[in-house]
């Protein structure tokens, strides 16, 4: 009495009518398809402000502020007055060379 799970048929079936196995199958297929499409670390280009540094390194704003103040990524930062521009590729390579900060990859 083993049925082959058909993805398109399961999408049409109401969740309340699904078995646990069918629901698990749909969830794993969904995670597999979206997992490959979402990059976690920002790459290429310029980012602006402390929020941009946080986006590049995948950390919180206070941690991004500590990274900026540490001086490790000074060569990647251009700051005119209050405006901060960060070269993401250069910042990531500087941090990898320094080896002092763990980067989420």
Asked if residue 5 belongs to a domain, the reply is yes
Torsion angle defined by CA atoms of residues 12, 15, 19 and 21, in that order, rounded to the nearest 10 degrees: 80
The per-residue pLDDT for range 27-43, each reduced to its tens digit, is: 888 888 776 554 455 45
Q: How far is CA 91 from CA 36, 43, 77, 96, in A?
A: 24, 10, 8, 9
Say what the pLDDT of residue 36 is.
56
- Please name every residue paired with 84 in a beta bridge, in sequence order, or none if there are none: 79
Label residue 73 exposed, middle or buried (CB < 10 Å: 0-12, 13-18, 19+). Answer: buried
Do 90 and 52 lie in a common domain?
Answer: yes
Asked if residue 25 belongs to a domain, the reply is yes
**Residue range of the domain that includes 17:** 1-38
Q: Which CATH number is 58's domain given?
A: 1.10.10
Asked if residue 14 belongs to a domain, the reply is yes
Say what the pLDDT of residue 1 is.
40
Do 56 and 91 lie in a common domain?
Answer: yes
Report how many domains make up the chain: 2
Higher per-residue confidence, 72 vs 101? 72
Do 10 and 50 lie in a common domain?
Answer: no
Asked if residue 104 belongs to a domain, the reply is no
Do 29 and 55 lie in a common domain?
Answer: no
Do 17 and 55 lie in a common domain?
Answer: no
Say what the pLDDT of residue 63 is.
92
Do 65 and 26 lie in a common domain?
Answer: no
């Amino acid at each position: 009495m083993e049925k082959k799970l058909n993805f398109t048929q399961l999408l049409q079936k109401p969740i309340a009518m699904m078995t646990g196995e069918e629901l698990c199958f749909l969830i794993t297929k969904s995670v597999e398809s979206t997992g490959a499409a979402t990059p976690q670390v920002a790459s290429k280009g310029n980012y602006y402000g402390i929020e941009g540094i946080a986006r590049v390194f995948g950390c919180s704003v206070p941690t991004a502020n500590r990274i900026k103040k540490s001086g490790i990524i000074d060569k990647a930062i251009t700051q005119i007055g209050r405006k901060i521009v960060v070269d993401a590729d250069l910042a990531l390579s500087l941090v990898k060379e320094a080896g002092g900060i763990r980067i989420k990859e």
